Amino acid sequence: MDSTEYSVDVDLLIVGAGPVGLYGAYYAGFRGLSVAVIDALPNPGGQITAMYPEKPIFDIAGFPAIKGQKLIDGLLEQGAPFQSTYLLGQQAVSLDPVGDRWKIVTSTGQQILASAVVITAGVGSVSPRPLPCGEEFTGKGVQYFVPKLDVLDGQDVLVVGGGDSAVDWALASVERARSTTLVHRRKQFRAHAHSVKLLQESSCRQLVDAEITSLHGNGSVESAVVNVKAAAEPVTVPCTLVVAALGFTMQLGPLANWGLELENRSILVDTAMRTNRNGIFAAGDIATYPGKVKLIAVGFGEVASAVNNAAAVLQPEVGLAPGHSSDNAPAFAAIS
């Protein structure tokens, strides 16, 4: 008999407090399950809160556009009536069976007992790819995230990269900064075609097929030297703020050692979002199956499926069907 004293004992543990995990917490509460949510980041919201809270998102059903942090705030409000336990700033390290339940030990030493686990850890741990130069200016004019758009105000902004984030930050900067330059090492952008069209129609200076070779400044960054292949001489660009959007390296971390069947750093699931281990489910970008599309909207549906299938196992007398949310609204839910 297990005599361990657990700091948290719940029906369902959700690993990952991004938008998919937060929606899962709401849905589990709606199904009458006790829930804990764990995330290595100190605040709920996952990469949205950490990297682009001010960035508009255009593919959430029912919202023509919604800023990242507003989406997270709404998800937290939606789940608040069910009083989930949030374990933030710590990582789920180990997963071991205890009878027909699961013991999870965190990086701070907390021990959690859960009857089922839903993994919504996105793409795992994320680290930004560094600039090839100017590391000494990190935090002194060079940054990898734009948590608040007002940091762009009145600056000479240099954005480095050619993907969606780079183009989005450049477009946001044009509206607020004194000047905006975008440097991309290829001629073609990897961002959405519509965003690239807006960029090309904007006042943003674009240096393509080009690379930054050095950054200069006295204490903080003041200028960059850019080697443009089509130019005879390097170009000097004034910049008081450099936004490096070169993408990220991603690692599963401890999840890789949990005995789950993996494919290309993702967890294989079936149509019920079940993994190869009983009682362990996965949803969102961390989960994969034939035809998978990585969208927040898809993740919302996946985590609802995962939670409902977990509920059917934990509460067989209730079954899979969740019923209508309008028939079981929280007592103090806002209705408009």
Residue 247, number of CB atoms within 10 A of its CB? 15
- pLDDT tens digits for range 268-287: 999 999 999 999 999 999 99
Q: Looking at per-residue confidence, does 48 or 203 come out higher?
A: 203
User: What distance in Å separates the CA atoms of residue 301 and residue 291, rounded to the nearest whole number?
Assistant: 15
Residue 334's pLDDT band, with cuts at 50, 70 and 90, is: low
Residue 336 scores a pLDDT above 60 = no
* CB-count exposure of residue 53 (10 Å: 0-12, 13-18, 19+): buried
* CB-count exposure of residue 28 (10 Å: 0-12, 13-18, 19+): buried
308 with 265, same domain: the answer is: yes
Question: Which amino acid is it at 8?
Answer: V
* pLDDT number for residue 209: 96
118 with 26, same domain: the answer is: yes
Given 195, 228, 246, the domain boundary residue is 246
User: What distance in Å separates the CA atoms of residue 39 and residue 32, rounded to the nearest whole number?
Assistant: 22
- Which structural domain, as residue segments, surrounds residue 224? 130-246
* pLDDT number for residue 52: 75
Number of domains in the chain: 2
Q: Which residues sit in the known binding site?
A: 39, 47, 52, 92, 285, 326
Whose structure tokens read 């960035």? Answer: 55
What mean pLDDT comes out for the span 141-147?
86
Residues belonging to the chain: 336
Please report, for the domain that includes residue 117, its CATH number: 3.50.50.60
Residue 328 scores a pLDDT above 70 = no
181 with 275, same domain: the answer is: no
User: What distance in Å separates the CA atoms of residue 19 and residue 13, rounded to the nearest whole number?
Assistant: 15
Residue 27 scores a pLDDT above 70 = yes
Q: Compute CA distances 72 → 9, 22, 24, 50, 265, whole Å.
A: 26, 8, 13, 11, 26
Average pLDDT over all residues of the chain: 91
Residue 212, number of CB atoms within 10 A of its CB? 23
Residue 315 scores a pLDDT above 90 = no
Q: Compute CA distances 182 → 8, 51, 202, 214, whole Å.
A: 48, 19, 12, 15
What mean pLDDT comes out for the span 156-170?
93
- pLDDT tens digits for range 96-135: 999 999 999 999 999 999 999 999 998 776 678 889 898 8
* Residue 103 CB partners (closer than 8 Å, separation 6+): 4, 6, 94, 95, 96, 97, 111, 112, 113
For residue 168, being part of any structural domain is answered with yes
215 with 260, same domain: the answer is: no
Residue 30 scores a pLDDT above 60 = yes
206 with 181, same domain: the answer is: yes
For residue 335, being part of any structural domain is answered with no
Residue 319 scores a pLDDT above 90 = no
Residue 324 scores a pLDDT above 70 = no
Residue 214 scores a pLDDT above 80 = yes
Q: Which is nearest to 241 in space by CA: 106, 118, 121, 150?
A: 150
What mean pLDDT comes out for the span 237-247?
93
* pLDDT number for residue 123: 75
Lowest-pLDDT range of 9-23, 118-132, 194-208, 319-333: 319-333
For residue 334, being part of any structural domain is answered with no
What mean pLDDT comes out for the span 238-261?
89
Question: Which amino acid is it at 282?
Answer: A
* Residue 147 CB partners (closer than 8 Å, separation 6+): 50, 51, 53, 54
Q: Which residues sit in the known binding site for FAD?
A: 39, 47, 52, 92, 285, 326
299 with 154, same domain: the answer is: no
User: What distance in Å separates the CA atoms of residue 79 and residue 30, rounded to the nearest whole number?
Assistant: 9
Q: Compute CA distances 194 → 43, 190, 247, 287, 294, whole Å.
A: 32, 11, 20, 28, 19
134 with 59, same domain: the answer is: no
Given 226, 246, 266, the domain boundary residue is 246
Give, in degrees to the nearest 5, the angle at Cα 77 between 73 and 82: 140
Whose structure tokens read 């949310």? Answer: 325
User: What distance in Å separates the CA atoms of residue 119 and residue 166, rounded to the nearest whole number?
Assistant: 29
What mean pLDDT comes out for the span 62-85?
94
Q: Which is nearest to 329 in space by CA: 82, 162, 107?
A: 82
Residue 215 scores a pLDDT above 80 = yes
Residue 1 scores a pLDDT above 50 = no
What mean pLDDT comes out for the span 72-100?
95
36 with 73, same domain: the answer is: yes
Given 246, 280, 304, the domain boundary residue is 246
What mean pLDDT comes out for the span 23-44?
94
Q: Please report, rounded to a whole number, the percentage of residues in the chain having pLDDT higher than 90.
A: 73
253 with 241, same domain: the answer is: no
